[in-house]
Amino acid sequence: MYTNYKKDKVNPGEPYRPEFHGVFEVPVQVGARTRRMLAYTPENYRESTSGVIVIGPDGKNADELFRESPWCALADQEEYKEKMIVFFLEPENGKWNTDEAYGRPDGDVAYINAAALKASERFNYCVHESKFYVFGVKEGGALANMAVADNPAFYAGIAVVGGSSVSEDYLKEAKQDYCTMLDGYEDPEHRKNIRKGDIPVPAWMIDDPTDGSAGKNTMLSYWKEACGTTDEAHQIDPDCVEYRRSMETKYPLNQDKEAYRVCSSSIPGASEGLAYDLCRRVWKDFLYRQRRWMSCPGGDLRVTADPVRDLHTDYYYQEIDGWMREWYVYVPDSVKAVPDKKVPLVMAMHGYTCNGEIYSGNSGWSRVADKYGMIVVFPSALPAHVNMPEQGLMPEYTLLPAWNIFQEDDRPDELSFFRQMLDRTIEKYPVDEKRVFATGHSWGSLMTQMLGLGMTDRLTAIAPCSGVFFGGASKIMTKLPDLNKYNDLQLPVWMHWGTEEEWLIPAQPLHDNETGFTIDMWMKRNGKEDMIPENWNEYPIEINGRFLDRKVEKEGTAPVWFTQVDYMPHATMPEMSFRIWEQFFSRFA
């Protein structure tokens, strides 16, 4: 049912070609029963792409949806890199239970959300956590609404055709129930006191006046309230009105109020639900237009911005050291307007499974560049297998992008790649070579520190996010010869990590854990060994909103700062990028 292109080795000439392509049957465990779904991966899709969960009406099984619906064709024909993976669900015994009671542990809602979790596994493909969407038709549309109301922080959008009527009792219970799954971490103790009805989900409710579904739209009011929209309807198409949010969001740097969209349509004949034009419109005009990024509790909705098509970022795909490599260069209009003026450069590195396009949208560094006038480079790592099961990174996963921080011989030399990429960027753009910075998240934070150790001569300061030597990396990286050439050079460092990523990074720095080791290493390297306290937890903290800052300064030496971010999972966010520039990078040359 699928094509296996390659197993363990990456082809240097086409490194991003996926291992598998085709349709997979996926078992889904619900209570004591095993149900199924089908997953379709289009040819030449990219890692960390979008995932659309398709839920058909009564009487349609997953095989029929796969054959008859246009969603596979839409995935195949997507003209940009966002060739989504499509997941087809099916009712048990041919019928969805639209009268299901809220909270049933083995019902259809539990099946849909269990299927969504299976879709997030990485054994044969990888959907990015910010890009899960749901499309439902008729009875399947009602169940789609019920499932998203039950687990709202997982999804970036929902669109249903003819499934807008859901039991008011069900919605009342869902709305008032505590939301324990907060997009990246669990909150079973209700520390944040967030209810499911507080989580916004972009929604498009499409009804059909010819089948009697119009006028019974209980979900429209529910999603409008969740998204905080006004009651004023804006006509955006002859058959579609949009309700918009006017009130600012809680974290405006991280959340776009324009993404809090709720649409309503009445389209004759739409209840058939599987017409190509309608499904393409659902995808291109609505679902794709927003993503739910991790960072704030419940996630951050932001408008999707393709770096090339929407932000006019320059895209490069060139051979370096025998490997085809990819990177994006973002140059704000203000920099283009004065081409002879030298400006700072920030190299921003993505985490495991991702790429430069993902980190461009996730980190918000292009927004920082727009405000302060700098160039940002978003490079992409090459795929590999990663064997760190203690951190949930399994060797059985499909090949996914990961920086070669351990300098494995059969993989590209990252220090050589970054030096050459930097040289090519300086040759083409007005870069101030005295103000070159590096930052990155997760595996990108390890790459950032690798550059800090192995390219100290080219860098001005670094800011690794989720940024300690996790997963035993310190035992290998700090002993590599190429990372010990510049021990006599100091480098300003600002590390960040969240309080909700204890599974990977110890939140409290101790001298015998990886967090404390990383801080101590940079302290020693920057001439501050005499300032290492007996207990880091007794070192003064500056509280700045969610940010718990510790700043170690000593005249004549490079500073070492480290920050915990309260209620933040293993993620990054634009607010952090703005702080890094405004308070740290901008100080140095």
What is the full DSSP assignment across 485-542? TTTT----EEEEEETT-TTTS-SS--TTSHHHHHHHHHHHHTT-GGG--S-GGGS--E
Banded model confidence at residue 391, pLDDT cuts 50, 70, 90 = low
Q: What is the band of 275 on the pLDDT scale with cuts at 50, 70, 90?
A: confident
pLDDT more than 90, % of the chain: 87
**Contacts with 553 (C-beta within 8 Å, 6 or more apart), sequence order:** 559
Q: Is the pLDDT of residue 122 over 70?
A: yes
The mean of the pLDDT values for the chain is: 94
Query: What pTM, to 2 d.p., does this model score?
Result: 0.96
Q: Which CATH code, of 3.40.50.1820, 3.90.25.10, 3.40.190.10, 1.10.3720.10, is assigned to 2-303?
A: 3.40.50.1820
pLDDT of 21 reads 87
Give the closest residue to 414 by CA, choosing from 462, 386, 453.
Answer: 453
Cβ atoms of 348 and 327 within 8 Å: the answer is no
HSE on the CB side for 219, CA within 13 Å? 32
Q: What pLDDT digit, counting tens, does each position of 182-212 carry? A: 999 999 999 999 999 999 999 999 998 876 5
What are the CA-CA distances from residue 95 to residues 58, 61, 98, 260 (Å)? 5, 10, 9, 32
Q: Per-domain residue ranges for the chain?
A: 2-303, 314-587
pLDDT over 80 at 460, yes or no = yes
Can you tell me the mean pLDDT for 53-81? 93
The stretch 556-579 carries a mean pLDDT of 97
> Over 80: is that where the pLDDT of 347 sits?
yes
Instruction: Look at residue 312 in the predicted model and tell me its pLDDT.
Output: 96
For residue 94, pLDDT over 90 is answered with yes
Q: Give pLDDT tens digits for 400-426.
A: 999 999 999 999 999 999 999 999 999
Does residue 326 register a pLDDT over 80? yes
User: Which pLDDT score is estimated for 353?
Assistant: 95
CATH topology classification for 314-587: Rossmann fold (3.40.50)
| Per-residue pLDDT at 38 exceeds 60 | yes
Report the DSSP pairing between strands 20-30 and 33-41.
Answer: antiparallel
Read off the pLDDT of each residue in 232-257 and give the average, rounded to a whole number: 96
Has residue 269 got a pLDDT over 90?
A: no
280: left (phi over 0), alpha (psi -120 to 50) or beta: alpha
Q: What is the pLDDT of residue 395?
A: 77
Burial 410-432 (b: 16+ CB within 10 A, else e): ebbbbbebbbebbebbbeebbbb
- Looking at residue 559, its pLDDT comes to 98
Return the pLDDT at 196. Answer: 98
More confident residue, 207 or 451: 451
Q: Give percent of the chain above pLDDT 70.
A: 96
Q: Which residue has the tokens 């969805």?
A: 96
User: Per-residue pLDDT averaged across 486-495, rounded?
Assistant: 96
pLDDT of residue 211: 66
Q: Is the dihedral of CA 101, 102, 103, 109 positive or negative?
A: positive
